Amino acid sequence: MVISMEPMIMIPQGMAGAGGYREHDILVVTESGNENITKFPYGPEHNIIK
């Protein structure tokens, strides 16, 4: 089974960095576990554009 997830983080208008930011993961799920084939780093520190 393949699962595609795309959570979104929203920062309200008027705040620094306002807008929407998405992270995207594709998981391959098997009887013995799962594997994230996207291999993209995730978390707040990776949502910041410098």
> What is the DSSP annotation of 9-38?
EEE-TTSTT-EEEE--EEEEEETTEEEESS
Task: Write down the pLDDT at residue 7.
Answer: 72
Three-class SS of residue 2? Answer: strand
13's CB contacts (< 8 A; 6+ apart) are: none
Domain range for residue 35?
Answer: 2-46
Q: How many domains does the chain fold into?
A: 1
Which whole number is the average pLDDT over 8-26?
A: 80
Q: Is pLDDT at 29 greater than 90 in this prediction?
A: yes
Cβ neighbour number for residue 38 with a 10 Å cutoff: 14
28 beta partners: 2, 35
Supply the DSSP symbol for 4. E
Q: Please say if the pLDDT value at position 46 is more than 80.
A: no
